Structure formats: structure tokens, C-alpha cells
Amino acid sequence: MTVAPFSIAHLTDPHLPLLAEETGLFAAVPDKRLSGIVSWRMKRRHIHLPRILSLLTDDIHAHLPQHIVLTGDLLNVSLPQEYLRAADWLGQLGTPADVSLTPGNHDAYRPGAFEAGANPWMAYMQGDGPARDAGFPYCRIRGGIALIGVSTAMPTPVFSSAGELGARQLSALAEILAAHSKAGRMRILMLHHPPGGAGASRRKGLRDRAALQQVLAQHGAELVLHGHTHTGVLDQIPGPRGPIPVLAPSSASALDPHREHARWHLLEISSPSSGQWQTQVTVRGYNPVSGQFETQGQFSLLA
Ligand SMILES: [Fe+2]
Ligand SMILES: [Fe+2]
């Protein structure tokens, strides 16, 4: 199938700020949130800066992408009011039709928090089907491309940031990948946790990574976009017709000399006559010297 070129902006892990009154230690219940709030006070509030995120989203909008993919960790400790502030921020990022979201571990920090709080985000995580089912996986067609979102977000014990898809999502994903392969569409899988070797520890990684890799080895996908690592990732995992490219930018709000400053990726997708999908990737990153975002790399992926 040949489609007109289509452009997608991919950003991840904005970690919108907690308010000062939310970070008083006595404001927290003595559970996992306490460790998250201590981490925010001690470290993360100095790294995830609203002014960097604002420059990044301005830079995305200046490039007029046709779609935006956001792969999770909007929040820090999943307080009810964090979901509402994030919904406002999402509204500024784009309409639900133009932004596809998959949640991260910080968006489901405690049992029940995501289910109770994330309703205002649902329109960003819905498929195109008649029922507009808000469950995962969801699939939307944009520019002739199948954008498939799965959730790896789940509550975990203190000091763990692991994720899991579960058997139900994996089997539904296999069906969706097969159907869109038959239809000749490019398939982009969106998820928070890396599906490959990056961040693969038991404590931080995707627990059923091997099962996901099996699904991808059998049914394929043309591109996988993820977050969670807070550093740029260019990886690949085996597919039925060759390697599947796997891509992540650093955190969208980071000013972090020890890891990476904020970056986002502009993906320009075209289907050349060879039958393979070509994705031209432009890495846009924050330069603390100029105080601006600039092009820091360009490369091409084929699948
Ligand atoms: Fe994150
Ligand atoms: Fe994460």
C-alpha cells in the first residue's frame, strides 16, 4: 500500500510538576507515594522543568506534525489532581484525535489510581471502532498507518518501576497486528516500557517482554515507539521479515547533565516503491547554551 508522507512527533515522560503543597511529607500517605514525593523533592523537581517542556511543545507545534505520540509518565505519584492538571496540559498539546497516548508506571503509581483518575485522558487512548472502546490495545488509523497503543502501566512495590502487558493484551495485540498486516498497513506499536534490551532489569523492565517479542517475531510491526528510559534508544528486535526498529527519546522535560537533556523525535514516514516503509527520524534536542531546541541528528529506518 502506498500512502502520502505522514509526519508524527514522538515525545515521552514529561513528568509534569507536583505543586509545593503536594510535596510536604505530612501531606503524603505512608505508602509508595511517600518515596515518590521524597524522590521528587530531593532530585526530580530539579530535572523535570516546566519551562523546558514548554519549549519542547512549542518546538513540536512549530513543525506542524500531522500526529503526536506520547508514551506515558505524565505524572509522578498519581495524585487525583495530577490527572486533572495533565488533562489540561494534554488539551494544549493537541486534540484527542491528533494525540495518541499510552500510560506509564508513574500514571498508575498506586492500586486503583489510574482507574479512578485517568477518565479525563480516555479520549486520547481510544480506537476508531464504532464502540470507541477505551480498553487496551486500541488502534487508530492515521494517514493510512495503524497506530496501536498498549498499556504496560501497573502499580508496583516501592523502588520498582516494572511494567506488564498480560495475556489478554498480548493475544488481542497479535490479532490486531495480523489484521493490519493483511491490509498492507504500516503498524506502529506504542507502549511505555522498552520491549527490547534497554532498561530490561526485573525491577524496572517489562516483565513479559519475552512474550511480546514472540508476538512481534510472529506477526511483525514496522516500528515500535516507547518511553521510560529517560535516555534516547535506537534498538531493534527480530520480526518475521527482518529487524523491527525500536525508538525512544529522552524525557520531554529534562535538564539533566548526568543523563540527557530533553529531546523529541520527528518521524517522517513514506512508503517507497520497494515495499518497505521508510521513516526519516529527526532528533530535536534542547541545547542549554543557546537555550533552544535544535536538530541534533538525523537518520533513516527501513522496515
Ligand atoms: Fe519516566
Ligand atoms: Fe516510566
Q: Which residue ranges make up each domain of the chain?
A: 6-17+32-273+281-302
Write out pLDDT tens, residues 95-137.
999 999 999 999 999 999 999 999 999 999 999 976 555 589 9
Query: Could you say which ligand is closest to the alpha carbon of residue 154?
Result: 2
Q: Distance from the CA of 230 to the center of ligand 2, in angstroms?
A: 8
Write out pLDDT tens, residues 249-286.
999 999 998 899 999 999 999 986 677 899 999 999 99
Q: Which amino acid is at 51?
A: R
Q: Distance from the CA of 86 to the center of ligand 1, in angstroms?
A: 15
Query: Could you say which ligand is closest to the alpha carbon of residue 194?
Result: 2
Provide the 8-state DSSP code for 230.
S
Q: Is the peptide bond before 137 cis (omega within 30 degrees of 0)?
A: yes
- Options 3.40.718.10, 3.60.21.10, 3.40.50.2300, 3.90.1150.10; CATH for 6-17+32-273+281-302 is 3.60.21.10
- pLDDT given for residue 33 in this prediction: 81
Q: Which residue, among 257, 256, 234, 238, has the nearest Cα to 246 in the 3D structure?
A: 234
Confidence of residue 4 (pLDDT cuts 50, 70, 90): confident
Q: Is residue 199 scored above 90 in pLDDT?
A: no
Is the Cβ–Cβ distance between 212 and 195 less than 8 Å? yes
Question: 0.85 exceeded by the pTM?
Answer: yes
Query: Could you say which ligand is closest to the alpha carbon of residue 230?
Result: 1
Q: Distance from the CA of 104 to the center of ligand 1, in angstroms?
A: 7
